[in-house]
Amino acid sequence: MTKYEELIKHIKNKDTSVDAIAKKYKMSVMDVKIMQEWKNKHKVIKNLPEENMVIMKGSPKESWEDKYKKEHKLRQEAEGELSIMKGIETNRVKEAQAKSNQLQNELDRTNKEKNDLYNRIAELIEANEKEIKNLKWIKDHDYIFLIDENKKLHKEVKELKEDNKKLAQEIDDRIARARKAGM
């Protein structure tokens, strides 16, 4: 027995109120009233298969069919909108992937530059260590001794030049005095 047949049976019995019927079958009160009006207008034939029933204008079945058609149309519209949204989202995903690839390439390039710089620093450190090894002889005691001796000799040469100038001046003064004295 279908929902409508049960509903019509209850309406025939007139034992229940419209509110009780609506609550029991989870329908609106308005739908139940429409069915009651339809029953009053038309004679209901018992045990007639649903596909053989003639649907008359204003019948509850027609209102359900209208509701189904409306729902179907809304569902199709929603599916169309969903399809559009999926297309938009696909474009967003593609744009995000392109941006991600661009950032990844930039990161790879930056990491390569960083590695090149680390390698250059390692080369410079190695060259600097070789230079320091070459300059270790500066710290050698003999070298320091030679530098000190060189400084002493420069000082002595300077003193000798000054003494030489003084002696040359003194000789010039004695020659000049001897000429004045008549020699």
Query: Does the pLDDT of residue 174 top 70, yes or no?
Result: yes
- 32 and 81 in a single domain? The answer is no
- 129 and 170 in a single domain? The answer is no
Residue 102 — φ and ψ, nearest 5°?
-60, -45
**Dihedral through CA 103, CA 108, CA 111, CA 116, nearest 10?**
-140
User: What is the pLDDT, as a whole number, of residue 15?
Assistant: 47
Per-residue tokens: 10: 């209850």
User: What is the pLDDT, as a whole number, of residue 56?
Assistant: 47
Q: Residue 43: helix, strand or coil by DSSP?
A: coil
Per-residue tokens: 18: 């419209």
Residue 60, judged by CB atoms within 10 A of its CB (0-12, 13-18, 19+), counts as: buried
- 21 and 43 in a single domain? The answer is yes
- 65 and 44 in a single domain? The answer is no
The tally of domains found in the chain comes to 3
Quick: pLDDT tens for 26-79.
777 777 777 777 766 665 555 445 544 444 445 555 577 788 788 888 888 888
- 114 and 148 in a single domain? The answer is no
User: What is the pLDDT, as a whole number, of residue 8?
Assistant: 65
- 79 and 42 in a single domain? The answer is no
- Mean pLDDT of all residues belonging to the chain: 78
- 39 and 92 in a single domain? The answer is no
- 174 and 109 in a single domain? The answer is no
Q: Which domain holds residue 6?
A: 1-54
Quick: pLDDT tens for 128-138.
888 877 766 66
- 93 and 131 in a single domain? The answer is yes
- Positive or negative, the CA dihedral 60, 61, 62, 67 is positive
Residue 47, judged by CB atoms within 10 A of its CB (0-12, 13-18, 19+), counts as: exposed
Which DSSP state fits 17? Answer: -
- 33 and 91 in a single domain? The answer is no
- 67 and 129 in a single domain? The answer is yes
